[in-house]
């Protein structure tokens, strides 16, 4: 006797998509009209319920009948009633409309969940001096959205976006990080600053690239957009005098007399105005930079992230 087990066919997988199906299916609005005719017994009342004219409703029914090749509705002075074929089609139409409503509700739930939070990652200058104003402007547009902000250097921002841990990022480096798309949202200028008693404050000639590249400076950490822009502008940097990971710490070190630094003009405007720091003139060095919004390549911002991006660009979508 054979010990082979009886053959059991494998379960069939999903049927392959039929490209022509969409061209054979009536529009959802036409199916809703057919259901209303079945429920109300009148094409005119069905049209009124759906907010369309009776001629438009008649046109939809005729178009659906041509599309399906079936007579669906009998019209008479006493009203409209479904043909036997129309009754079957209406039964199937009800299932399609119910499935469409469930689909719509599910998609809306996904949008609501997405819109309930906005995760922003930004390099320090933007996080401290620009984003607060943008987020205040976003609040009336998205009052129910909880916003979180993670500040770090430009490399850290790129990593958060690529790992799916942020919805929108802002960076200060000389270029667009790999794997991201970007748009410029502002421009910034870097300035050389020292304490008021530093020897550079008594110079009669501006600094040049050679002096900046050869002099140890107080710098941000590796990966900082500010440091990258400066290194590119002067052709390389000497070993740092100090390496600090926050703009506030850099400003405090410079003000204490520890040495010079190169910082965003946005970050030192108050200290310059109060005389706590002094701006040193520079010539022959391009110290301007673009501040960019960034997001994963091929996936433009949506929902609250799209609204925030529009605000950073002065309301342009």
Residue extents of the structural domains in the chain = 21-113, 117-180+295-312, 187-289
Summarize pLDDT for 188-236 with one digit per residue, the tens: 999 999 999 999 999 999 999 999 999 999 999 998 889 999 999 999 9
Query: Which CATH number is correct for 187-289, 1.20.140.10, 3.20.20.150, 3.40.190.290, 1.10.10.60?
Result: 3.40.190.290
Calculate mean pLDDT across residues 47-70: 92
Say what the pLDDT of residue 217 is: 97
Whether 85 has a pLDDT exceeding 90, the answer reads yes
Say what the pLDDT of residue 174 is: 87
Bigger pLDDT: 23 or 271?
A: 271
Range with the poorest average pLDDT among 26-30, 56-60, 312-316: 312-316
Is the four-CA dihedral 103, 109, 113, 116 of positive or negative sign?
Answer: positive
Q: At 13, is the pLDDT very low, low, confident or very high (cuts 50, 70, 90)?
A: low
Say what the pLDDT of residue 316 is: 42
Q: At 95, is the pLDDT very low, low, confident or very high (cuts 50, 70, 90)?
A: very high
Calculate mean pLDDT across residues 84-107: 90
Say what the pLDDT of residue 29 is: 92
Find out if CATH 3.40.50.720 is the number for domain 21-113. Answer: no
Say what the pLDDT of residue 19 is: 72
Whether 7 has a pLDDT exceeding 60, the answer reads no
Bigger pLDDT: 203 or 111?
A: 203
> What are the structure tokens assigned to 78, written together?
């006493």
Would you say the CATH fold of 187-289 matches that of 21-113? no
Query: To the nearest whole number, what is the mean pLDDT of the chain?
Result: 89
CA distances from residue 112 to 106, 117, 164, 270 in whole angstroms, order as listed: 10, 9, 18, 41
Say what the pLDDT of residue 182 is: 96
Whether 317 has a pLDDT exceeding 50, the answer reads no
Calculate mean pLDDT across residues 248-252: 94
Whether 25 has a pLDDT exceeding 70, the answer reads yes
CB 130 within 8 A of CB 291: yes
CA distances from residue 285 to 136, 221, 248 in whole angstroms, order as listed: 35, 21, 25
Summarize pLDDT for 112-153 with one digit per residue, the tens: 676 778 999 999 999 999 999 999 999 999 999 999 999 999
Q: Estimate to the nearest angstrom the gap between the alpha carbon of 227 and the chain centroid.
A: 27
Whether 5 has a pLDDT exceeding 60, the answer reads no
Say what the pLDDT of residue 11 is: 55
Summarize pLDDT for 253-302 with one digit per residue, the tens: 999 999 999 999 999 999 999 999 999 999 999 999 999 999 999 999 99
Query: Which CATH number is correct for 117-180+295-312, 1.10.1040.10, 3.40.190.10, 3.40.47.10, 3.40.50.300?
Result: 3.40.190.10
């Amino acid at each position: 006797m054979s010990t082979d087990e009886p053959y059991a066919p494998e379960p069939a997988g999903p049927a392959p998509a039929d490209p022509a199906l969409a061209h054979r299916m009536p529009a959802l609005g036409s199916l809703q009209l057919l259901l209303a005719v079945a429920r109300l017994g009148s094409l005119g009342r069905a049209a009124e319920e759906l907010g369309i004219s009776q001629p438009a409703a008649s046109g939809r029914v005729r178009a659906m009948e041509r599309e399906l090749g079936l007579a669906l509705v009998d019209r008479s002075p006493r009203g409209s009633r479904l043909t036997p074929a129309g009754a079957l089609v209406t039964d199937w139409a009800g299932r399609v409309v119910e499935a469409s409503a469930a689909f719509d509700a599910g998609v809306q739930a996904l949008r609501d969940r997405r819109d309930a939070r906005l995760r922003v990652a930004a390099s320090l200058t933007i996080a401290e001096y620009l984003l607060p104003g943008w987020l205040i402007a976003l609040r009336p547009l998205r009052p129910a959205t909880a916003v979180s902000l993670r500040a770090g250097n430009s490399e850290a921002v790129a990593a958060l976006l690529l790992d799916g841990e942020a919805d929108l990022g802002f960076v200060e480096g000389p270029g667009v990080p790999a794997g991201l798309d970007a748009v410029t949202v502002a421009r910034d200028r870097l300035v050389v600053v020292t304490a008021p008693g530093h020897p550079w404050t008594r110079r009669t000639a501006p600094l040049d690239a050679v002096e900046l590249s050869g002099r140890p400076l107080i710098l941000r950490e590796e990966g900082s957009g500010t440091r990258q822009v400066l290194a590119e502008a002067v052709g390389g940097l000497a070993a740092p005098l100090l390496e600090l990971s926050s703009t506030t710490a850099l400003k405090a070190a410079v003000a204490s007399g520890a040495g010079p630094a190169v910082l965003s003009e946005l970050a030192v405007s108050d200290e310059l105005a109060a005389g706590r720091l002094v701006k040193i003139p520079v010539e022959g060095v391009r110290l301007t930079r673009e501040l960019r919004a960034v997001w994963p390549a091929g996936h433009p911002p949506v929902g609250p992230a799209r609204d925030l991006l529009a605000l950073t660009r002065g309301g342009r979508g």
